[in-house]
Structure 1
């Protein structure tokens, strides 16, 4: 832990030096039209890379320089096309970045110490860069918005691969679940409720909220930062939390209330329109042996009910919707989504990406069958009984159009987007005056980007 703190200190000192260079010893690395890129911009980008805990790699500065030049080209075009981003979007992204930095630093005070200046000042400093990044992303999206990948495009893309170079597709499965969470009685939850009430009384008596959160809150993400949750809108919280947070006045502390997470009380630090900055203390009621037994009994009764019928996808879907306690999968017919590809909402999961506990259960199952109730413990230590349903299995194979059309289409579409962006940059950089410092002209990623010297002379 101490070593990590030293690394952070070095990184933040490095970022501070970069800022000092920007004011005193800076130099221009590139000119892009009427915009300039400074050495300190690259050094600060590299410092942020190191802050993520990644190993030093000075060669990455070439990639950072290319990214900054690309960003300048995009933002210049965005001005012409009247592309803008809302102030609230910039606020959200700045706050997201600050939450990550605070978490990595081990708290807001430590981050301020490492930066050598208040966190709010640092937020103001990064705001222009964040705005430029968001504008460039919006411009990139506009350039590719009309990209459409037809079945013929997919076929042509697939045919660019030689048969012996086609990728291997690992074994994939579709798995459903019906989840039975242990449910506590009011009597079983009373101890935790009283503990939360006791902590609230201590806050009202004058004890430090942050110190109590660090010592007692069972929300691991916010406890280390004194319970601070940063900024958020109504949709960022469970409904019970939002209902309380948006009724408080600045500085006011709420009564204890219950949500699916446990018993909370919170303090409103600040409010800006439909966003609030809060901190809270969470006490999670401990699962009892009796509650686990009740969950197992209910799971077994549903399993017996399923076994009376020939299990089909529709029957399992109905059972999951009616009985499951998992709010995500129950409204998806009980099917587990591929966590690495949530945007497409695909239920096809590579076997090596499946929870090992689930993989072990389905290993001997046949398609269209269900498992007996199994006790599963998630990454956070939460226990529940689950019934699993194996809807499909696709064995490992070399990619082909019949079985893998959706995957190939995704890859073909990504390839088409990349080519569209590359063609746009190729055209735009020929139309734009670009001068690159000799130190960076040797970067492989910047070969051909600078305007030729003869052309520069004419300009």
Structure 2
């Protein structure tokens, strides 16, 4: 008979849920080479994860966050397409893994619900300033060795706030013992999952790929001297003692992109201008340009894109991905000096003329964009941990893991 292993506010965690979560975690850790973790340790970790999961689902309900069937179907279609499958083939693949389509659909509904909760309560509130990007890049440029990104595994032996000298000494000894075991060949993922207090412990301590500017300065100089597979530590910080393993790293390449200098005329469709009227008006302008009239003058007089109209329709230098796909498709097919026939996008009817093309070194621009994304991710990770801790601290949680019926 299924039994309750935890009470979480008005919800419960069942033994069957705990078994499924423990099995999923064990499977993932075994893929990383961690094969000898005691069952009771895995169960405690799995229970903590389930408790946080239940609290987030409950909070989403309180806030009225729900996922309709149309959104769910669209998400399933996207997942099938990304894997090169039809919906029927996706259903067959799920059944081979022992999961029904209905169960998968409800799991996906809950995953999307949690993502929307996190977006609303955490991620949407994250702001990254220009000064922060500048500081991030300055930090990255100080990176010894010129490496741009690192794939790292991590173990944290935590110490509490205001830890006593005895607590610090005990944590240091544990970290040194773990480092010695690693140097004797024990599996990093297994030790991380058992002993680390880091958020990625159940992923074998895998932090994934981090841009140089994301790496804590505590590790950066060490990583510059490490080779793939090297383990270093323990490093003492306010949170405790850290051990790292360098799985891989990347150097820096220039980012050269093809840019196009173009100008266009847009006639929008609305309540007063039908689709046929817009196309006919633009066809007349197209013929006038072909007949020798000045493109810029006609754009100033007739284009509905007011931002570019005052510049004679000039869009400036355009990088790939800056414009809607249909517009870029037509523009990219034109030679320098070429003028397109009228074509339609979601904004209305256009004609476009290509003025120049160039190879542009977008390395700095790409670096700034990557820096901004990395900073957002770092801030979001930190904010999410605080948010989840707050949910847990405010909740009524009673566990019965040790009960035996």
Tell me, yes or no, whether TM beats 0.5: no
TM-score band by shorter chain is: 0.3 to 0.5
Q: TM-score, normalised by structure 1?
A: 0.36
